[in-house]
Amino acid sequence: MDNLKEKAFQDKIDQDTRIEPKDWMPENYRKALIRQISQHAHSEIVGMLPEGNWVTRAPNLRRKVALLAKVQDEAGHGLYLYAAAETLGVSRDDLIDQLHTGKAKYSSIFNYPTISWADMGTIGWLVDGAAIMNQVPLCRCSYGPYARAMVRVCKEESFHQRQGYEILLTLSRGTEAQKQMLQDSVNRWWWPSLMMFGPSDSDSPHSAQSMAWKIKRFSNDELRQRFVDACVDQARILGVTLPDPDLKWNEERGHYDFGEIDWDEFWQVVKGHGPCNKDRIETRVKAYEDGAWVREAATAYAEKQAKRKEKVA
């Protein structure tokens, strides 16, 4: 019976029919989605921290307003994604608990420190740039609620990428010290940005199945290559050097060749031993605890309203 259901399910996927929450789905499809969507949601929420760190130190009011708005957008992305995960039968409290107890993964990139203002520009250019490359295909993901959430996320990410690039353009036309700050920032963020796409295809345990289910539309290496190809001209316009001596155009492949990623560093960070993993989780837990009174007040108000409605009825 399940075999028949599974065949009908795969036929739907092959015909690009969206799967919706109440449709039958294999248990492993549900689990794969909960895993990816929740990791994605956690990444958006933890992703607020490295930039939030600079809100009070933005160089002028316009920059401060834009940065604050970007960080708020990321909170919104986290909420759409938690809501999409909840349609699969998992509770938000459980997901948040997994993040706070260190059981859940989130993107490796957010475990690196933001030590200069240029990092706000570089995160927009490279980190949001990598995110867009990875996430635009997710708008065509086979699971409806995730795909629909991604449409809005991608529109906002695109705006973030441009505001980051504009920060860097301004620095690139500035003083020698500003140009150096820009180059130093790109030196630190280039390789971690390439790691955002995940392990090489040959070391990616989930890719084949996720692609067969059209959760992922392209492999980690395909998207990483597209990202490198897109960045080279953008770096040239900024007048920065990408820190990879092996980066060069390959006429035969029609792509840029690039150097070997330090996979030891990647797995160290993923396993919790990056420069900021501990600090990020501690800050996140504190923010959650400090916000308890807001959740309590909102719940008390909702309960009061519900009782009032009951009385009227």
Residue 108 touches ligand BYC, criterion: CB under 6 A: yes
Tell me which of 36, 38, 163, 185 binds ligand BYC, using CB under 6 A: 36
Is residue 301 packed enough to be buried (19+ CB in 10 Å), middle (13-18) or exposed (0-12)?
exposed
Residue 204 touches ligand BYC, criterion: CB under 6 A: yes
Beta carbons of 38 and 21 less than 8 angstroms apart: no
Residue 128 touches ligand BYC, criterion: CB under 6 A: yes
Q: Residue 186: which of 124, 251, 138, 264 has the closest Cα?
A: 124
d(CA 277, CA 259): 26
Contact set for ligand BYC, span 249-288 (CB under 6 A) = 270
Residue 6: partners with Cβ closer than 8 Å, 6 or more residues away: 26
Stretch that binds ligand BYC, among 41-49, 88-96, 140-148, 180-188 (CB under 6 A): 41-49
Stretch that binds ligand BYC, among 59-67, 174-182, 204-212, 295-303 (CB under 6 A): 204-212
Residue with structure tokens 């933890």?
A: 46
Tell me which of 74, 147, 168, 258 binds ligand BYC, using CB under 6 A: 74
Residue 181 touches ligand BYC, criterion: CB under 6 A: no
d(CA 25, CA 2): 10
Beta carbons of 141 and 150 less than 8 angstroms apart: yes
d(CA 131, CA 133): 5
Residue 207 touches ligand BYC, criterion: CB under 6 A: yes
Q: Minimum Å distance from CB 201 to ligand BYC?
A: 8
CA-based torsion, 294, 295, 298, 299: positive or negative: negative
Residue 142 touches ligand BYC, criterion: CB under 6 A: no
Q: Minimum Å distance from CB 79 to ligand BYC?
A: 13
Q: Minimum Å distance from CB 34 to ligand BYC?
A: 10
Q: What is the DSSP letter of 263?
A: H
CB nearer to ligand BYC: give 239 or 288.
288
Enumerate binding residues for ligand BYC (CB under 6 A): 35-36, 39-40, 43-44, 47, 74, 105, 107-108, 127-128, 131, 134-135, 195-199, 204-207, 210, 216, 220, 270
